[in-house]
Amino acid sequence: MSVQRATFTRPLLAIAMVTLSTYCATAQKAPVPTRVRGTIENVNGDTMQVKSRSGEDFKLHIAADVNVSGITKISLADIKPGSFIGATTVPGPDGGQNAVEVHVFPESMRGTGEGSRPWDLKPNSSMTNATVAESVVGNDGHTLLVKYKDGEKKVFVPDNTPVVTLVPGDKSDLKTGAKVIAFMKQLPDGSFETNRVSVGRDGLTPPM
């Protein structure tokens, strides 16, 4: 290689290395979370500070049109054929789907998020929002056949599974010490905003 060619090549190589490093840094950047589960540390006007279950601190701007839902306990026996539910499940040892929580939607929310998708509560967990077609009571829980527009699934719900329902709430529920799930998005300036928050009533931690 001539001296002139080597002199010309070195800057190109340097540029390529910088470009590759930038690409790798971008590719390895952690994904922006879409929800935070934790405890409200304080509320100041339209800003809410939440400490996540893993110990991270999030400062969230509360959107003017924020939707707040309360979460309250109900019984497994309250789940009937025809109920529209959300169930977080993980694969069971027998290959079936075992529920780790179930929430019953009020009639006004029937059809919300219908379908089955990956969920971030536990490793390999999924969320299925569907209508209960059949409920079979066993010795240690219920087996639910749930149907949604693209399919159906059998879900086993052990007796000790948290079962809750959603009730109307408002911004007054957003107070220090409340256990919440805040759905959020990142704004162009890098800050976070929430327009939907689920709040546990009477000290309840939302299980979903």
> In this structure, what CATH number is given to the domain that contains residue 49?
2.40.50.320
Do both 49 and 87 map to the same domain? no
Do both 155 and 115 map to the same domain? yes
On whether the CB atoms of residues 58 and 69 are closer than 8 A, the answer is no
Query: What are the pLDDT digits (tens) for 171-202?
Result: 999 999 999 999 999 999 999 999 999 999 99
Query: What are the pLDDT digits (tens) for 59-117?
Result: 999 999 999 999 999 999 999 999 999 999 999 988 889 999 999 999 999 999 999 99
Do both 92 and 132 map to the same domain? yes
Tell me which residue range forms the domain holding 198. Answer: 35-71+167-203
Do both 95 and 117 map to the same domain? yes
Give, in degrees to the nearest 5, the angle at Cα 127 between 124 and 131: 145
pLDDT-wise least confident of 124-128, 136-140, 160-164: 136-140
The tokens for 60 are 């969230």
DSSP β-bridge partners for residue 129 = 86, 115
On whether the CB atoms of residues 17 and 10 are closer than 8 A, the answer is no
Do both 159 and 171 map to the same domain? no
One-letter amino acid for residue 185 of the chain: K
| Residues in CB range of 57: below 8 A, 6 or more apart | 41, 49, 50, 51
DSSP β-bridge partners for residue 171 = none
- Give residue 138's pLDDT: 86
